[in-house]
Amino acid sequence: MSTQLQKTLTEAERDRRVLELYDQLIEIEQRLIPTGLHVFGRPSEVAERADMLRMIASFDRPESGVRALPDLVSENLGLGSYTALINAASSEHERLAKRERIDGIVSAAIAEFLQSGSEAAASLLEQTANIDCQESLPVFALLEKISTQLETNNEVDALLRALRGEFIEPGPGADIVQNPEVLPTGRNTHAVNPYNIPSTMAFVRAEAVASNLLERYLTENGRYPKAMALVLWGLDNIKTQGEGVAQAFWLLGVRPVRDALNRVTEVEAIPLEELKRPRIDVVMTISGIFRDLFSPTVLLLDKAVRLVAQLEEPPEMNCLRRHVMEQLSSGFVFDDAVARVFSNAPGNYGTNVNFMVMDSQWNRDETLGDLFVTRKCFAYGRDSEGRAVEGREARAAMDQALTRVEATYQNIDTFEIGITDVDHYFEYLGGISKAVETRAQARPSIYLSDSLSRDVRVRSLEETVRLESRAKTLNPKWYEGMLKHGFRGVAEIESHVSNTFGWSATADAVDDWIYTEVAKTFVLDEAMLDRLRTLNPHSAHSLVGRLLEANGRGYWDADISILDKLREIRSSLEDQLEGVA
């Protein structure tokens, strides 16, 4: 009997694992993987356009009166809500199969559209998913417009006109999937009206993210985090119309209020009965770009913190107020106890943590977090007298606020730039996480989510590093795309490896197998190494050096035979660079 039970459990467990694995494979497959760099003036290719159009068609476009294709397919096949399917797909075999069927029909329709046009694609959907052509044709009319814009490219012409001092028509600055109105490219980018931040849509989307984030922490730790540290960037909040800002509002438990001119100029508390959870203490690090672009929003974030700190609520339901009270009783003045919005000194940008990591200029673990705080400990908002505070150095206040942080988080606004594409994610999210680790004397849980997929998934940093490594750095589709660009492509591969290393340096978030696979793919494979050293020996040399540094600093437990081989190759690359070989 017990053996029988054990066997059943083992089978159930096995099935669950297979489903999880399958879900991860779908996640990687569905990511929009850039297959090369954008070449100025060159329109996108057909395969690239198909992926882009599929992503664009996966969202409702109320501004064009167009429904999302997966929803149309799901509803017309009698499979119910597509959103419900994607939210539960990972745990149920049947739902996963339905989702796969829908995604397959959508991809086939997009392929048909690119090959034979709107009418053919609409009639395919009529046959395969019972969708009346009248319902799908508006979707394809929109895709036709976007596809034509992707096929044309005015960038060189616009640049020449700009150089002649001529007028360049403006267009919005956003992510193409979020807002296809960014097309055609080659226009003058206008950004955003800060008084419309966060937009109504952003505030709705942020509720799901904040709640998934807190659920995840609750599942892993058995309670809500007392305090979180958030990173807010300017360009991201332009592209998402303020989703990062809205997430901070939800965590604090406040909502934006619009004035008679429809401008967001106030916040009000969401009652605890409605919120149904404690208000979280939120420490915000804003980039210099955010500070410069969103002055009214900076004031609003500070206003939200001060509002929550003054709500007479039970201490266990208002973590922020509890912490401010504790800080007051340990001698802080109110304006320091309540400081939660930090950025660089006026006129300064960045954390420099990326430069320190890239140049290997640190010896002690805490140095990177200390540098982050040194650069970012300037408080913004208004003081208790209502006077503007524009970058008051408040290091003790920031140090103190970070001692209570248990989770750090950043929203990713686009598939195109992920956490290993640029060094800015690890300088910010990694930098603050390291600063927390030293001050709170415990490594925080580190989370990310992205705004662009339909399912609002919160991932740990470790999961995100694995996903990016599989989808990009170690994916032949990605690196072959890069290698087509020759010298620059090898530099991109090296930069991905260095940015991955940045996540070891700041957050110890990289599994050994990732470095091992990087070594096997790019260095130990002789044919590949030959290609890299011919195209760009400098980057090849740096890549091998970075792998050896990862081992030297204790981030990668590598086989001795691999290390010996890497040393030998590094020395031969040095000879090549010095012209000895």
The residue (of 234 and 481) whose beta carbon lies closer to ligand BEZ is 234
Which of 432, 371, 380 lies closest to 407, judged by CA?
A: 432
Q: Is 219 exposed, middle or buried (0-12, 13-18, 19+ CB in 10 A)?
A: exposed
Shortest distance, position 290 Cβ to ligand BEZ, whole Å: 5
The residue (of 57 and 429) whose beta carbon lies closer to ligand BEZ is 429
Looking up tokens 């977090």 gives 369
Q: Is 417 exposed, middle or buried (0-12, 13-18, 19+ CB in 10 A)?
A: middle
- Measure CA of the first residue to CA of the last residue in the chain; give whole Å: 70
The residue (of 428 and 515) whose beta carbon lies closer to ligand BEZ is 428
> What amino acid occupies position 199?
S
Handedness of CA 216, 220, 223, 228 (dihedral sign): negative
**Taking contact as CB under 6 A, which single stretch among the options 29-37, 201-209, 227-235, 463-471 is the one that binds ligand BEZ?**
227-235
Shortest distance, position 411 Cβ to ligand BEZ, whole Å: 12
The residue (of 306 and 376) whose beta carbon lies closer to ligand BEZ is 376
Q: Is 380 in the site for ligand BEZ (CB under 6 A)?
A: no
Q: Is 234 in the site for ligand BEZ (CB under 6 A)?
A: yes
Contact assessment for residue 497 and residue 543, using Cβ atoms and an 8 Å cutoff = yes
The residue (of 286 and 339) whose beta carbon lies closer to ligand BEZ is 286
Q: Which tokens sit at 101? A: 């069927």
The residue (of 290 and 378) whose beta carbon lies closer to ligand BEZ is 290
Residues 405-424, one symbol each (x = binds ligand BEZ by CB under 6 A, - = not), give -------------------x
Which of 392, 170, 410, 198 lies closest to 296, judged by CA?
A: 198
> Whole-angstrom Cα distance, residue 305 to residue 351?
24
Contact assessment for residue 57 and residue 139, using Cβ atoms and an 8 Å cutoff = yes
Shortest distance, position 425 Cβ to ligand BEZ, whole Å: 9
Options 50, 66, 235, 514; binder of ligand BEZ; rule CB under 6 A: 235
Q: Is 391 exposed, middle or buried (0-12, 13-18, 19+ CB in 10 A)?
A: middle
The residue (of 224 and 503) whose beta carbon lies closer to ligand BEZ is 503
Q: How many residues interact with ligand BEZ (rule CB under 6 A)?
A: 7
The residue (of 235 and 358) whose beta carbon lies closer to ligand BEZ is 235
Q: Is 34 in the site for ligand BEZ (CB under 6 A)?
A: no
Contact assessment for residue 211 and residue 229, using Cβ atoms and an 8 Å cutoff = no
Residues 273-312, one symbol each (x = binds ligand BEZ by CB under 6 A, - = not), give --------------x-xx----------------------
Shortest distance, position 132 Cβ to ligand BEZ, whole Å: 43
Shortest distance, position 346 Cβ to ligand BEZ, whole Å: 15
Beta bridge partners of 190: 172
Residue list 240-259, contact with ligand BEZ (CB under 6 A) = none
Binding site for ligand BEZ (CB under 6 A): 233-235, 287, 289-290, 424
